[in-house]
Amino acid sequence: MRKIIEKWCSTSLILKIFVGLVLGAILGLLVPNVRAIGILGGVFVGALKAIAPVLVFLLVCSALSKAHSNVGRRFSSVIILYLSSTLIAAIVSVCASFLFPVTISFAKSATANPPQGIWEVLRNLIFNMVTNPVSSISNANYMGVLFWAVVTGLCLKKTASETTLKVIAELSECASLIVRCVIQFAPFGILGLVYESVAESGLNIFTEYGWLLVVLVGSMLVVALVVNPVIVAVALRRNPYPLVFKCLKESGITAFFTRSSAANIPINMQLCERLGLERDFYSVSIPLGATINMDGAAVTITVMTLAVCNTMGISVDFPTAILLSVLATLGACGASGVAGGSLLLIPLACSLFGINNDVAMQAVGVGFIIGVVQDSVETALNSSGDVLFTATAEYYERRKTGKAMNYLGKSE
């Protein structure tokens, strides 16, 4: 048994995930009624979501309690990278919507409670930050987890003894070990997730809403394969694609199927470790990215809102469209980390053009129908970007100080 486990763990995770993906698709087409197979996906995602808030809290506490002063410069760099890419993603989606205008055949109204205005979004964001820390961890409220972890970590830095800091560090190592064990079951989880998606939706989704999906996914691919690499190339002054493809392969694939940036946090942290990044930095920047790095949300909110405007015959000029996407994407921070989180910001964006909530919620209903593809690609873009820009920020600071960059975790 030990030899089997060692062989399993030593086999490439990407290869195992690919096999699970193919098997899930085949089983979904051949035997779509065996719902027990789909349980594998729910168990895998559930386990990641359960351990991720605890892992984030412990890692952030441990990192900040013993952080060096030079970590601060990297935080400012990564925040600039996160916000810059989101803004450019919004502009790309506006251009795509103007070049390839889309209309929507409305589905039934979705049942949800979208925010009524930007101030409600900001208020909820602030309230989420100061929610009871135990409640934040149990409910996976990452704004609250981050806030209290930062406060606790900074206080520990001032007051804790070496023994206490060692205990915190060992607890974070324990949580990391649990995550590594869970990730070894990723191929079975992916098999279940793919099976469930194919069994429920089949291929019909590509015909009914095909053109809308083309604009959405096309815009996201432009951001992932053109915009983000250009940002990395400008910052690092070297070929960005080895790093871009590594992030897409090792983070984007799992994020595509889990459809949750929060669930992908542990996987991103493992990737950062393999890239040779400093743990004090990535243990904070990765959960921060899962909250504020919203390239995919910028694309989804903008394209869907402009599609509703086209359907309703509302004329929107280019500057107004840019303003719409920026405001809505900033508000998306309050709905991050969960599947379909960006869709509930569509009514808020539509309200800027006087579109009533009933119509906007029909667009949300369409969003949930195409979410099998749209939300998967959006999450893959967002989550892989968290690692990409975390690595870029650290490599950028190393280049400025003349240190070896250890690009892709390899010594130079």
Contact 86, 295 (CB under 8 A): yes
Closest CA to 394 of 68, 85, 70: 70
Q: Please report, in tens digits, the pLDDT of each residue of the chain (412 residues total).
A: 777 777 777 776 667 777 887 888 788 878 878 777 878 887 877 887 787 788 778 877 877 776 655 556 777 888 889 888 888 898 899 899 889 888 876 654 444 455 555 566 567 667 778 888 888 888 767 678 878 888 888 888 888 788 888 888 888 788 878 877 887 787 888 788 778 767 766 655 556 577 888 999 999 999 999 999 999 999 888 899 999 999 999 899 888 877 777 778 888 988 998 888 888 888 888 888 877 788 888 888 889 888 888 888 888 888 877 777 676 666 555 554 455 556 767 777 777 777 777 777 777 777 776 777 888 898 899 999 999 999 999 888 887 766 655 666 554 4
226 CB-near residues (< 8 Å, 6+ apart): none
Q: Provide the pLDDT for residue 102.
A: 84
What's the CA gap between 216 and 213, in Å, rounded?
A: 5
Closest CA to 79 of 399, 333, 409: 333
Scanning 160-227, the segments in alpha helix (DSSP H) are 162-183, 186-201, 205-208, 210-222
Q: Provide the pLDDT for residue 386.
A: 93
**Tokens matching residue 34:** 């065996």
For 409, other C-beta atoms within 10 Å of its C-beta total: 14
Closest CA to 244 of 381, 411, 406: 381
Report the predicted TM-score, pTM, of the whole model to 2 decimal places.
0.73
Chain-centre distance for alpha carbon 398: 26
Q: Provide the pLDDT for residue 407.
A: 61
What's the CA gap between 196 and 204, in Å, rounded?
A: 15
CATH fold of 2-409, please? Proton glutamate symport protein (1.10.3860)
**Tokens matching residue 408:** 């892709």
Domain ranges of the chain: 2-409
Q: Provide the pLDDT for residue 230.
A: 95
